[in-house]
Structure 1
Amino acid sequence: MKKVNARELHRDLGYFFLGLIITFAFSGILMNHRSDWHPEKYTLEAKEIQISLPEESQINDAFAENLAKELKIDDKVKRHMVRKGKFKMQFENTEVEIDVETGKGEIIQFIKTPFISQTMFLHKNTSNWWIYFSDIFGISLIIIAVTGTLMVKHGKHTFKRRGWKLALAGLLFPLLFLLFLS
């Protein structure tokens, strides 16, 4: 039986998962900023509206459903809320935002952004086969990381001399983030 070579395993797993690593990194960056913009959707149409809103206490599920019908939105209301002086309704491909005081608002319709929406779907997918593949991917990333520590065997840049300090710093950063910022 041939001995497993860390350098070859590291290289081959790196090559095999290169596309997935880039895709996950790209979609992960987009997911980090999804509250600031709609990375998986882009505006197809924005339409100004003027609505008379009832008092905030009367804004409920029934009101949201009726308003959606009145605005000719043929989609189920995912959520609605009043926050920071705005009444907001969210649908799969449409958002409505209305100023509570003035009644002025906007209906924004979206369509999926090609490639970006598909890569972000990978991050959110919960099908069993994808979960198993993602587990294999995660294990492979651990193997890539460990084999990377074994690649430099001599000199001042080995894991024993220098690498462990950098690895510890890399480990401390997310731990500190979890402790102090979450």
Structure 2
Amino acid sequence: MNKQTFRGLHRDLGYFYIGLIVSFAFSGILMNHRDIFHAEKYTVETKEISVTVPQEEEKITEKFAEDFGKQLGIDDKFRRHKVKDGEFKISFEKHDVEIDMKTGKGEIVSFQKTPIVSQMMKLHKNTSNWWIYYSDIFGLSLIFIAITGTIMIPAGKFSFKRRGWKLAFAGILFPLLFLIFLA
């Protein structure tokens, strides 16, 4: 293959994947900061409650949590429950419930999915077979785009041989150092 062929493939793959690249980058940035805010959903209503729950953690099973949600008037899909540090938490598709087990006081938070953003964030979480294969092809294409990008610049002071390899080395070294020393 000559440089023109690489240049054409580099350009066309870049055009083809631009939407996915932007979606992954944008939703990845949002996911990096999900401890500050949850961009995938937004709160519609918070309702204070006062209930009685068993004090024995072993009585709070998945079935109990699901039925308890129905008693609270929540009819959407049950996701999970957790008891930790005296807090009973139940997560549903459109509601979260948090209850202090000692006092029985808590809240029901109702939320909606953020349009477009929640769908983009699903790209990072999707595990269906077709998406895994598509993501693998995408990953290989990104590798190809990166490699062809290194050989497209003609010889000169900005070429990969003269300058680019140093930046590429720094780009590889930085995340490795970050993982070794700060993780």
Using structure 2 for the length normalisation, give the TM-score. 0.85
**Equivalent residue letter for 1:30:** L
- List runs of 5+ in structure 2 lacking aligned partners: none
The aligned residue for residue 38 of structure 1 is: 38
Q: Write the deviation string for residues 21-54 of structure 1: whole angstroms up to 9, x where unpaired.
A: 1011111122223344332222222211112333
Query: In 2 relative to 1, CA 153–116 (structure 1 residues): closer, same or farther, beyond 3 Å?
Result: same
Query: Between the two proteins, what is the percent identity of the paired residues?
Result: 64
**Equivalent residue letter for 1:139:** L
Structure 1 ranges of 4+ moved more than 4 A:
none
- Give the count of matched residue pairs: 181
Using structure 1 for the length normalisation, give the TM-score. 0.85
Query: In 2 relative to 1, CA 154–84 (structure 1 residues): closer, same or farther, beyond 3 Å?
Result: same
- Shift in Å, 1:148: 1.2
Query: In 2 relative to 1, CA 4–153 (structure 1 residues): closer, same or farther, beyond 3 Å?
Result: closer
- Shift in Å, 1:100: 3.2
Alignment map for 1:1-150 (pairs within 5 Å): 3=2, 5=4, 6-61=6-61, 62-150=63-151
Q: Write the deviation string for residues 91-114 of structure 1: whole angstroms up to 9, x where unpaired.
A: 122100122343221101222211
The aligned residue for residue 167 of structure 1 is: 168
Q: Write the deviation string for residues 53-97 of structure 1: whole angstroms up to 9, x where unpaired.
A: 332535511542342232122245422223344321111221001
- List runs of 5+ in structure 1 lacking aligned partners: none
- Shift in Å, 1:115: 0.5
For 2:24 and 2:66, the matched residues in 1 are separated by: 37
Query: In 2 relative to 1, CA 158–145 (structure 1 residues): closer, same or farther, beyond 3 Å?
Result: same
Q: Give the secondary structure class of the aligned counterpart of 2:106.
A: strand
- Shift in Å, 1:18: 1.1
For 1:60 and 1:152, the matched residues in 2 are separated by: 63
Matched-pair contact (CA < 8 Å) for 1:56–1:82: no
Query: In 2 relative to 1, CA 76–116 (structure 1 residues): closer, same or farther, beyond 3 Å?
Result: closer
Q: Give the secondary structure class of the aligned counterpart of 1:78.
A: strand
Q: Give the secondary structure class of the aligned counterpart of 1:18.
A: helix
Query: In 2 relative to 1, CA 27–13 (structure 1 residues): closer, same or farther, beyond 3 Å?
Result: same
